[in-house]
C-alpha cells in the first residue's frame, strides 16, 4: 500500500504537540482544584470512624480523601453510616437518581438523601454510585492518562501508545472524552498510525434508560483511512448495574464522512448497535475488565459492515497508578480503499495515572 498524502503526514507531525497540550492540561487540573472542608463522616460496621472528603462511590468502593491518611478506599458493604452536608448525586441499582446531602437513617440498612423536596430514604445496599456535585468546574472532572512505549533492537521497531479519558458530571448528565493513539515504526516498513477521538454525552432517565449524543474522529492508515468524522446518537439502557458489574446496550444512527487517499470524500448513513460489559474486583490488586463491541451496518451502501471490538484489563498497583493491557480489532468489509486491509488488530500495554 502506498504512502498517505502529504496532508496526513502533516497532521501526524503535529501529534507530539497534541500530546503535550493534553498532558499539561491533565497535570494542571488537579493542582488547580480548591479543597473543600473534609468534614464528611463514615462509620464502619466494625465501629471505626473515618473523617474526610467523600470523592465518590464507584465499583463498590467508597473513596475518601483524609488529611492524615491520604486516600482511603472502603468497601461499600463495610459502611454502616454516611454523613455529609455537601451535595451529591446518588444512583440506585434500578437507575433512580437522587440529589442532596447524605444523612444517617435511624435504621442502619438505609441512608437519607435530603434535597430541596425533603429527605428520601434509600436502601443502603441498593446504592451503586455516589458522585460529588460541586459548583467548581474543575472539581466535576475525573479521568486517567496512560502511556506505553517499547523498542526492539533486533528489527529496529518502536511502538508508542497514549490513552486519555475524562468525564464531566452534572445532575443526570455525563460527558465523556476519550483519546487513543498508537504509532508503530519498523525499519524498512511504512509507519502505521491509529488515532481516535471520541466525545459522548449521556442524559440519564429513570429505570436505567439514557439518551446518547456522540462525535467521533478516526485516522487509521492500516485501513487506508485518512479521516472518518462521525456524528449521531441513540437510546441505551444499563441492562445490569451493580457494584460489581455493568452491562449496557446502545442502539441508534450515525452519519459519517470519510476521506481516503484515492477518494477525497465519502458520506454514508449507518445504523449502530453497541454492547459493553464492565466488571470489577476490589480485592488487592484492584482490577477492572472492560469489553466493547460495536456493529455498524451501512444503510446508504448495502452490504458494507463495520465492526469495532476493544477490551481492556486494568490493575491498580499503587494508589491512583495502574497497569493496563488493551486490545482492539477494527473490521471494514467493503471500504472505498480497495488495496487497504479489511482488519486492523493491535495489542498494547501501558502505565497510567487516574485523577
What are the pLDDT digits (tens) for 8-39?
443 444 454 455 455 445 444 444 445 678 99
Which of 129, 160, 131 shows the shortest CA–CA distance to 147?
Answer: 160
Cell numbers representing residue 154 in the block: 533486533
Separation of alpha carbons 305 and 310, rounded Å: 17
What phi, psi does 138 have (nearest 5°)?
A: -70, -30
Q: What pLDDT, on the 0 to 100 scale, is given for residue 293?
A: 98
Helix (H) or strand (E) holding 261: none
Considering all CA atoms of the chain, what is the largest pairwise distance in Å, rounded to the nearest integer?
72
Angstrom distance (rounded) from CA 350 to CA 342: 27
Residues 6+ apart with CB under 8 A from 275: 247, 248, 249, 250, 292, 293
In the predicted model, is pLDDT for residue 173 greater than 50? yes
pLDDT in the model for residue 336: 63
* DSSP character at residue 28: H
pLDDT at residue 166, rounded to an integer = 93
Question: What is the signed CA dihedral for 97, 166, 307, 309, rounded to 10 degrees?
Answer: -90
The answer to whether 239 touches 225, Cβ cutoff 8 Å, is: no
Q: Is the pLDDT of residue 44 over 60?
A: yes
**pLDDT score recorded for residue 152:** 72
| pLDDT for 3 beyond 50 | no
pLDDT band at 188 (very low <50, low <70, confident <90, very high): confident
Q: Is the peptide bond before 285 cis (omega within 30 degrees of 0)?
A: yes
Question: CB neighbours (10 Å) of residue 344?
Answer: 20
pLDDT value at residue 111: 92
> What pLDDT is stored for residue 163 in this prediction?
94
Question: CA separation (Å) from 123 to 43, 81, 105, 333?
Answer: 16, 12, 10, 49
Which band of pLDDT confidence, cut at 50, 70 and 90, is reported for residue 142? confident
304-308's contacts with Cβ under 8 Å and 24+ in sequence apart are 304/268, 304/332, 304/333, 304/334, 304/335, 305/331, 305/332, 305/333, 305/334, 306/270, 306/330, 306/331, 306/332, 306/333, 307/331
CB 192 within 8 A of CB 221: yes
pLDDT in tens, 307-332: 999 999 999 888 889 999 999 999 99
User: Distance (Å, rounded) from C-alpha 24 to C-alpha 18?
Assistant: 10
Is the model more confident about 276 or about 150?
276
- In the chain, what are the domains? 6-29+139-354 (2.40.160.40), 40-135 (2.30.30)
Calculate what percentage of the chain has a pLDDT beyond 90: 58
Reduce the DSSP state of residue 120 to 3 states and report it: strand
User: 234 near 272, Cβ under 8 Å?
Assistant: yes
**Within its chain, how far is the Cα of 126 from the centroid?**
23
Q: How far is CA 253 from CA 100, 264, 301, in A?
A: 36, 23, 14
Contact partners, residue 259, CB within 8 Å, separation at least 6: 225, 226, 227, 228, 265, 266
Q: What's residue 11's pLDDT?
A: 44
- Residue among 179, 101, 111 nearest 133 (CA): 101
Q: Cα separation of 163 and 144, whole Å?
A: 8
Amino acid at each position: 500500500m502506498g504512502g498517505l498524502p502529504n496532508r496526513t503526514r502533516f497532521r501526524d507531525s503535529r501529534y507530539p504537540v497534541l500530546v503535550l497540550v493534553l498532558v499539561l492540561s491533565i497535570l494542571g487540573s488537579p493542582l488547580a482544584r480548591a479543597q473543600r472542608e473534609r468534614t464528611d463522616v463514615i462509620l464502619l460496621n466494625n465501629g471505626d470512624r473515618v473523617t474526610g472528603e467523600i470523592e465518590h462511590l464507584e465499583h463498590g468502593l467508597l473513596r475518601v480523601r483524609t488529611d492524615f491518611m491520604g486516600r482511603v478506599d472502603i468497601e461499600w458493604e463495610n459502611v454502616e453510616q454516611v454523613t455529609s452536608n455537601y451535595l451529591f448525586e446518588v444512583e440506585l441499582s434500578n437507575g433512580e437518581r437522587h440529589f442532596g446531602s447524605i444523612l444517617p437513617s435511624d435504621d442502619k440498612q438505609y441512608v437519607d438523601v435530603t434535597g430541596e423536596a425533603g429527605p428520601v430514604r434509600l436502601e443502603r445496599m441498593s446504592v451503586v454510585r455516589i458522585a460529588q456535585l460541586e459548583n467548581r468546574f474543575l472539581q466535576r472532572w475525573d479521568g486517567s492518562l496512560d502511556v506505553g512505549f517499547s523498542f526492539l533492537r533486533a528489527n529496529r521497531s518502536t511502538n508508542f501508545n497514549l490513552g486519555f479519558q475524562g468525564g464531566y458530571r452534572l445532575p443526570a448528565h455525563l460527558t465523556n472524552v476519550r483519546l487513543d493513539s498508537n504509532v508503530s515504526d519498523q525499519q524498512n516498513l511504512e509507519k502505521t498510525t491509529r488515532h481516535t477521538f471520541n466525545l459522548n454525552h449521556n442524559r440519564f432517565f429513570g429505570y436505567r434508560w439514557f439518551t446518547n449524543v456522540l462525535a467521533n474522529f478516526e485516522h487509521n492508515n492500516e485501513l487506508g483511512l485518512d479521516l472518518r468524522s462521525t456524528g449521531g446518537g441513540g437510546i441505551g439502557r444499563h441492562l445490569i448495574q451493580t457494584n460489581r458489574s455493568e452491562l449496557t446496550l446502545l442502539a441508534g444512527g450515525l452519519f459519517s464522512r470519510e476521506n481516503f487517499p484515492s477518494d477525497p470524500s465519502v458520506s454514508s448513513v449507518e445504523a449502530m448497535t453497541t454492547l459493553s460489559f464492565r466488571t470489577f474486583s476490589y480485592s488487592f490488586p484492584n482490577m477492572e475488565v472492560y469489553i466493547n463491541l460495536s456493529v455498524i451496518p451501512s444503510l446508504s451502501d448495502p452490504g458494507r459492515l463495520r465492526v469495532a471490538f476493544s477490551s481492556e484489563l486494568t490493575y491498580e498497583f499503587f494508589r491512583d497508578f495502574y497497569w493496563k493491557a488493551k486490545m482492539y480489532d477494527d473490521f471494514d468489509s467493503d471500504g472505498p480503499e480497495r488495496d487497504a486491509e479489511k482488519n486492523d488488530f493491535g495489542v498494547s500495554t501501558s502505565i497510567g495515572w487516574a485523577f
